[in-house]
Amino acid sequence: MSRESPHWNSDARGLRFAIVVARFNSGITEKLLAGAQQALTEAGAKSSRVFWVPGAFELPLAAQALAKGFDAIIALGAVIRGETPHFDYVAGAAAQGLQRVMLDTATPVAFGVLTTNTSAEAEARAGGAHGNKGYDAAMTAVAMARFGKPVAKAKKK
Ligand code: INI
């Protein structure tokens, strides 16, 4: 992977990851999970554990519960816009909640939650024409878990 890539630090050796996955739209989220697991295997992660929650709205609480036990969390979900404003509440709460957990706990949380207008758009981002956002989220988690190590060392000096 080149240094121009946003994920150029892709060495996960020695690092432990938790993957939290929403069951809602599980046909999509299972593909995101497969992508995330592939990325962690390629990066040489020491371990990864998978935890399921009902929907994307529940991801922040699960991430908060797990944050202290892992080097990074990967949150996966698929929020697909229907005809109701429910989409905005669920997608917004997931994004803001996960960001808050990351800042409150100082444990990296990667946002692998698709927010799309249609199922086809979600499929395209779960191993289709637009790649696999689960894979990308896992590589972001690796990069940010690595980021924390030299920062912690530099602060001690
Ligand atoms: N949860 C999702 O993960 N994706 C969706 O598209 C979705 N929609 O459309 O409603 C969804 N709703 C459930 C939500 O995440 C909670 O599980 C539920 O509101 C109970 O708290």
Cβ atoms of residues 110 and 144 within 8 Å: yes
Task: Assess whether the C-beta atom of 28 lies below 6 angstroms from ligand 1.
Answer: no
Is the whole-model pTM more than 0.85? yes
60 within ligand 1 shell (Cβ under 6 A): no
Question: Active-site residue numbers?
Answer: 86
Q: How far apart are CA 137 and CA 134, in angstroms?
A: 5
For residue 80, the SS3 value is strand
- Cα of 56 vs centre of ligand 1, distance in Å, is 6
Centroid of ligand 1 to alpha carbon of 118 (angstroms):
15
Assess whether the C-beta atom of 94 lies below 6 angstroms from ligand 1: no
Instruction: Tell me, using a 6 A CB cutoff, whether residue 131 lines ligand 1.
Output: no
From first to last of the 157 residues of the chain, give the pLDDT tens digit.
Answer: 444 566 567 899 999 999 999 999 999 999 999 999 999 999 999 999 999 999 999 999 999 999 999 999 999 999 999 867 899 999 999 999 999 999 999 999 999 999 999 999 999 999 999 999 999 999 999 999 998 766 666 777 7
pLDDT given for residue 2 in this prediction: 47
- The 3-state DSSP class for residue 79 equals strand
Domain chopping of the chain, boundaries = 17-156
Going by C-beta distance under 8 Å and a sequence separation of 6 or more, which residues neighbour residue 127? 31, 34, 35
What is residue 88's predicted lDDT score, i.e. its pLDDT?
94
Cα 17 from Cα 12, distance rounded (Å):
9
Question: In terms of CATH architecture, what is 17-156?
Answer: 3-Layer(aba) Sandwich (3.40)
**Site to substitute for ligand 1 among 23, 79, 80, most atoms within 8 A of C-beta:** 79
Distance between CA 72 and CA 136 in Å, rounded?
Answer: 14
Greatest Cα pair distance, the chain, in angstroms, is 55
